[in-house]
Amino acid sequence: MKKFYLISLAILSVIILAACGGANQAEKNKKEIKVAVQLESSKDILEIAKKEVEKAGYTLEIMEVSDNVAYNDAVQHDEADANFAQHEPFMAMFNKEKKADLVAVQPIYYFSGGFYSKSYKNADDLPENAKVGIPSDPTNEGRALAILDKNGVIKLKENTGFNGTVDDIVENPKNLKFERIDLLNLVKAYDEKDIAMVFCYPAYLEPAGLSTKDAILLEDIAASKHYALQLVTREGEKDSEKIKVLKKAMTTKEVADYIKNNSKGSNVPAF
């Protein structure tokens, strides 16, 4: 009987400890804000915002992911409270493809996309049949083609706007050959001898020692506002206390100054 009593007491102790542990974890999660990022520059901004988050009584965990799908999956599946990695058109494409309900809640900064070349200093110098690297996803492909259209390199169908694909090209005087490349690999394509010109973004250029000053074609800064890098969360969380705290922490003067002073003039605060 005594043995049975001791075993029962031990089991009860384990149950109580597990319950307490679960309660403590739940309480910790209430005060922890987890944000998924893919770029080092996004991580740097969150590191600056961390101080303001902590002042509000929360902790900020930065969740680094390796590709352009993982950060959205993390938010959609409640593994992260928000992400800071994309513009709104890219998020809208994810929502459509995955039947997700992500929402952009705060633009943080915008930046110009551009075309870069190791071999040519001007797009007019591109030879016939030159190979041009553009993003493989529809939203960024449209942005790249809009730049070429505006600069007279190609002509797109009327009213194509930012939604063009290579199928919308109606004039291509140099018969340029477009190669769709994953966004993360575009800067690598810059070094490939058979690629005459490649589209890329400032955040991907920095590790290669390039900036927007090296572009042979650069997007007008007004057009780039359509593609501001956004803080993104789930529809049901957009008005939560966590997101309010995060928005406030990411739109301080300190963050704005960092954006302006640490991007070689490529990035402009959007708040």
At 67 the pLDDT is 92
- For residue 265, list its beta bridge partners: none
At 263 the pLDDT is 87
pTM of the predicted protein model: 0.86
Per-position DSSP letters for 219-256, written without gaps between them: --HHHHGGG-EEEEEEGGGTTSHHHHHHHHHTTSHHHH
Domain ranges of the chain: 33-112+226-269, 114-219
> H helices of the chain, where?
2-30, 40-55, 70-76, 88-98, 138-150, 186-189, 202-205, 221-224, 241-249, 253-261
At 10 the pLDDT is 57
Residue 135, helix vs strand vs coil: strand
Short-list 253, 3, 268, CA closest to 110 = 268
- Residue 138 is classified by DSSP as H
Domains 33-112+226-269 and 114-219 belong to one CATH topology = yes
At 206 the pLDDT is 86
Rounded distance, CA 255 to CA 261, Å? 10
At 29 the pLDDT is 72
At 5 the pLDDT is 56
Amino acid present at 60: L
Rounded distance, CA 237 to CA 75, Å? 10
Kindly state the tokens that stand for 2.
């005594």
Short-list 166, 187, 177, CA closest to 127 = 177
- What tens digit of pLDDT does each residue of 158-178 get? 999 999 999 999 999 999 999
CATH homologous superfamily for the domain 114-219: Periplasmic binding protein-like II (3.40.190.10)
- What tens digit of pLDDT does each residue of 12-21 get? 555 655 555 5
Q: What is the CATH number of domain 33-112+226-269?
A: 3.40.190.10
Residue ranges of the chain whose pLDDT lies below 70: 1-28
- Residue that has been written with the tokens 């490349």 in this structure: 181
